[in-house]
Chain A
């Protein structure tokens, strides 16, 4: 009650400020609306339209309504027009989900203990360690992937090291899903550690002591106290890793080789050598829909959690 009274008083106090910043909103937001409208929202509408257009004879497309782009994801059209179920693109979608999911899980597995360790350090060292986690993220993405090509590739650091230790020579770790996953985890790691750290940092230490006083072991405390209370950070980190991982292009095209495609490389191929714009647009719409489903699902869960609290 008193709270709301104080709030009203503060509002009244703010009257001159209201006039001061009054019509800022329209002109202030205009540039961002123009830029995003032209370079982002308009293209999304166009690609949605292209996904139901007809493939042109020599690349490009014609504005005739056609669901062939979407149909091609699941079916192959034979000479006589009969549809035959072909799982090759479905497998790429599944692989994309599995790799992005695995990336998220592995990042999480390392991020939680490391973030917890950092949060337990004295302030100066804590800031330094957070900085050290952030820093590699700003090194060029392509170079971070390239670094792993040097390590895992033919004549790379790891095969040479193994050879030196007596393993058979000439092993290559490149051009498979494992190599792609390695690079994906490496490029995404800072994105997971930072939000998890931010969440663990806010954790009230007395709750851990309370759990211990009630005879909770370290494992029980971790499972029943620390993890539930850091869930918002874990969810934020998981989204920051999972969503860009679904659209990964560099990792599969450099580490996975030509055959181990993900949705990102499949889309890119349709606008490059493959030249089937409606099909590429259909895959892009599918990817965007999947991302939206993930985002909406987590937003709803977060909202429900807020209501429950």
Chain B
């Protein structure tokens, strides 16, 4: 049967999909291209230059914002990965869990509620109990809304894993902690790793919550970028944007590769 008469083939889908992928990547490419532009009006091309990269890397406000973002994201990632790991073990492996469905909904709650509502609600909470420290405010809020992103890959990994390994370990008189450390954890590690990485990315990327909760000295990277955009687009911003886009694409690629590699091993 020639493809022309293939009934599952819809004409025009190929070109449409090509256009779709161009649409998906062209805006990112535009930012990258303009970042190499020597002209200090962002939109007008003169010639190739790396000057905005060197000026970006010497920008102390930017580096401080990066430091805040990394600190918050690192702590939040550790916290929410541990929380998600415990929750996934209990929900998937636990026997006779009361309100199993509800417990899972609670873990995933940040995905169901609009972020702006959570952000202002947390702002009110912190102002009521008088938490002034920006890093503490950001870390608590980020830990909460990053948890589902860490939870979902770990849960998927744990659910795809047979109970036989853990049972074999128990049959060999391994205690529960040893079984977890030597059998369960190594087997679900790809899920834990990709979950932690996605949580890290979500935390680094967050604007809505950070914008409301950050204080004068603790501006995060997206909040700083927002202020740069508001004060008029500068070519330095394009260089910063390019570096950040590349960093997130690389991190996401690693996380996704680990996740798919893991699930293939498991099959």
> Is B25 on the interface with A (CB-CB < 8 A)?
yes
Pair A28/B124 contact, Cβ less than 8 Å: no
> Is B8 on the interface with A (CB-CB < 8 A)?
yes
> Is B251 on the interface with A (CB-CB < 8 A)?
yes
Chain A residue numbers with a CB within 8 Å of B97 are 25, 29
> Is B135 on the interface with A (CB-CB < 8 A)?
no
Pair B116/A39 contact, Cβ less than 8 Å: no
Pair A149/B89 contact, Cβ less than 8 Å: no
**Are A140 and B87 also in contact (CB < 8 A) when A35-B143, A114-B16, A114-B20 are?**
no
Pair B249/A139 contact, Cβ less than 8 Å: yes
Residue interface bits A37-61, CB-to-B below 8 A is 1, else 0: 0111111101100100000000010
Pair B30/A113 contact, Cβ less than 8 Å: no
> Is A156 on the interface with B (CB-CB < 8 A)?
yes
Q: How large is the interface on A (under 10, 10 to 19, 20 to 34, 35 or more residues)?
A: 35 or more
Chain A residue numbers with a CB within 8 Å of B86 are 27-32
Chain-B contact segment, one of A1-9, A69-77, A80-88, A125-133: A125-133
**Are A46 and B107 also in contact (CB < 8 A) when A147-B31, A247-B114, A267-B120 are?**
no
Pair B249/A205 contact, Cβ less than 8 Å: no
Chain A residue numbers with a CB within 8 Å of B17 are 113-114, 117-118
Pair B207/A247 contact, Cβ less than 8 Å: no
Residue interface bits B70-113, CB-to-A below 8 A is 1, else 0: 00000000011011101101110111111000010011011011
Residue interface bits B230-255, CB-to-A below 8 A is 1, else 0: 00010001100100110011011100
* Interface SS of B by simple majority: helix
Chain B residue numbers with a CB within 8 Å of A272 are 212
In angstroms, Cα B117 to Cα A263, docked, is 10
Pair B24/A254 contact, Cβ less than 8 Å: no
**Are A28 and B89 also in contact (CB < 8 A) when A117-B16, A146-B229 are?**
yes
**Are A138 and B208 also in contact (CB < 8 A) when A32-B84, A114-B16, A114-B20 are?**
no
Pair B166/A157 contact, Cβ less than 8 Å: no
In angstroms, Cα B9 to Cα A151, docked, is 35
Interface positions, chain A 240-291, Cβ under 8 Å from B, are: 243-244, 246-247, 249-250, 254, 263-264, 267-268, 270-272, 277, 280-281, 284-285, 287-288, 291
Pair B245/A117 contact, Cβ less than 8 Å: no
In the complex, residue of chain B having the shortest beta-carbon distance to the beta carbon of A138:
B252
Pair B10/A284 contact, Cβ less than 8 Å: no
In the complex, residue of chain B having the shortest beta-carbon distance to the beta carbon of A140:
B205
In angstroms, Cα B16 to Cα A271, docked, is 44
In angstroms, Cα B28 to Cα A148, docked, is 9
Residue interface bits A144-178, CB-to-B below 8 A is 1, else 0: 10111111011111001000000000000000000
> Is B118 on the interface with A (CB-CB < 8 A)?
yes
> Is A36 on the interface with B (CB-CB < 8 A)?
yes
Pair B222/A142 contact, Cβ less than 8 Å: yes
Instruction: Name the one of B20, B122, B166, B207 contacting A20, with C-beta atoms under 8 angstroms.
Output: B166
In angstroms, Cα B252 to Cα A133, docked, is 12
Chain B residue numbers with a CB within 8 Å of A267 are 116-117, 120
> Is B27 on the interface with A (CB-CB < 8 A)?
yes
Pair B225/A32 contact, Cβ less than 8 Å: no
In angstroms, Cα B44 to Cα A155, docked, is 7
Pair B233/A28 contact, Cβ less than 8 Å: no
Instruction: Name the one of B25, B28, B106 contacting A33, with C-beta atoms under 8 angstroms.
Output: B106
Chain B residue numbers with a CB within 8 Å of A142 are 205, 207, 222, 225-226, 229
Chain A residue numbers with a CB within 8 Å of B212 are 268, 271-272
In the complex, residue of chain A having the shortest beta-carbon distance to the beta carbon of B89:
A28
Residue interface bits A6-32, CB-to-B below 8 A is 1, else 0: 000000001011101110111111111
Nearest-CB distance from B9 to chain A (Å)?
7
> Is A62 on the interface with B (CB-CB < 8 A)?
no
Chain A residue numbers with a CB within 8 Å of B89 are 24, 28
In the complex, residue of chain B having the shortest beta-carbon distance to the beta carbon of A270:
B120
Chain B residue numbers with a CB within 8 Å of A50 are 124
> Is B62 on the interface with A (CB-CB < 8 A)?
no
**Are A146 and B114 also in contact (CB < 8 A) when A40-B109, A117-B14, A280-B120 are?**
no
> Is A208 on the interface with B (CB-CB < 8 A)?
yes
Chain A residue numbers with a CB within 8 Å of B7 are 208-209, 211-212, 218, 221
Which 6 residue pairs are nearest across A and B when measured between Cβ atoms?
A28-B90, A247-B114, A43-B121, A138-B252, A147-B27, A155-B43
Identify 21 residue pairs between A and B in the complex whose beta-carbon atoms are under 8 Å apart, listed by A's number. Answer: A24-B93, A27-B90, A28-B87, A28-B90, A40-B110, A40-B113, A113-B16, A114-B20, A117-B17, A136-B28, A139-B249, A143-B245, A160-B43, A189-B24, A247-B116, A264-B114, A267-B117, A268-B116, A270-B120, A280-B120, A288-B114
Extra 6 A-B pairs, beta carbons < 8 Å, given A39-B141, A150-B31: A26-B90, A36-B147, A135-B249, A139-B244, A146-B237, A254-B226
The interface of chain B, by Cβ under 8 A from chain A, is 7-10, 13-14, 16-17, 20-21, 23-25, 27-28, 30-31, 34, 41-44, 79-80, 82-84, 86-87, 89-91, 93-98, 103, 106-107, 109-110, 112-118, 120-125, 127-128, 140-141, 143-144, 147, 163, 166-167, 170, 176, 179, 198, 201, 204-205, 207-208, 211-212, 222, 225-226, 229, 233, 237-238, 241, 244-245, 248-249, 251-253, 256, 260
